[in-house]
């Protein structure tokens, strides 16, 4: 006795429906994984770009300690900000994005203070201390960006109070 043709057709149709549903489900999961991976890759790329510009600004700050050339420091700050602003929204960790934004504000504040208190060859003592605190924040941000790129946990961080120069001079990351 052979299986009726209608039963064979029903079995074939059922297999196609179940198999098709499985393909749609698996494809949906793969799309979500691909999307998540693409966001992570873009976030890491943004962090790398910001980190590269941060190092240029840190170098300009180091040069400022030798010459107190506020114009060169201001150009490096502007370059950092122009590079970082469009990249910050791509960073998936809001804490890292907020640290970058704080660093942009801190750099702007440092340049304003340095421009008003520095002359070629010398700077006010508190301006030098403020620049050293800025360098500590730059190192903290560099560590956070590196941790973000590697997928490591972030170190504890307490943002500086940008409205209080005395507190800024004494700022520590945690």
Confidence label for 115 from pLDDT (cuts 50, 70 and 90): confident
pLDDT tens-digit series, residues 79-112: 999 999 999 999 999 999 999 999 999 999 999 9
Q: What are phi and psi of 154, to 5 degrees?
A: -80, 145
Domain boundaries, the chain: 43-169
Of 142, 138, 137, 166, the closest CA to residue 154 belongs to 142
Other C-beta atoms lying within 10 Å of the C-beta of residue 100:
24
* Average pLDDT of the residues of the chain: 88
In this prediction, residue 126 carries a pLDDT of 83
Highest mean pLDDT among 44-48, 58-62, 109-113: 44-48
- Residue 143 pLDDT grade (very low, low, confident, very high; cuts 50, 70, 90): very high
Mean pLDDT of 67-77: 89
Of 98 and 122, which is predicted with more confidence?
98
């Amino acid at each position: 006795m052979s299986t009726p043709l209608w039963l064979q057709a029903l079995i074939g149709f059922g297999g196609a429906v179940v198999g098709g549903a499985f393909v749609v489900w698996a494809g949906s999961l793969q799309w979500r994984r691909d999307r998540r991976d693409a966001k992570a890759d873009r976030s890491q790329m943004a962090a790398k770009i910001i980190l590269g510009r941060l190092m240029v600004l840190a170098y300009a700050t180091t040069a400022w300690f030798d010459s107190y050339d506020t114009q060169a420091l201001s150009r490096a700050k502007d370059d950092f900000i122009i590079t970082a602003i469009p990249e910050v929204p791509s960073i998936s960790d809001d804490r890292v994005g907020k640290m970058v934004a704080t660093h942009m504000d801190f750099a702007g504040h440092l340049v304003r203070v340095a421009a008003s208190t520095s002359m070629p060859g010398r700077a006010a003592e508190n301006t030098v201390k403020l620049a050293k605190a800025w360098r500590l924040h730059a190192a903290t941000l560099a560590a956070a960006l590196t941790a973000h790129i590697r997928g490591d946990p972030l170190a504890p961080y307490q943002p500086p109070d940008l409205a209080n120069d005395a507190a800024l001079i004494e700022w520590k990351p945690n």
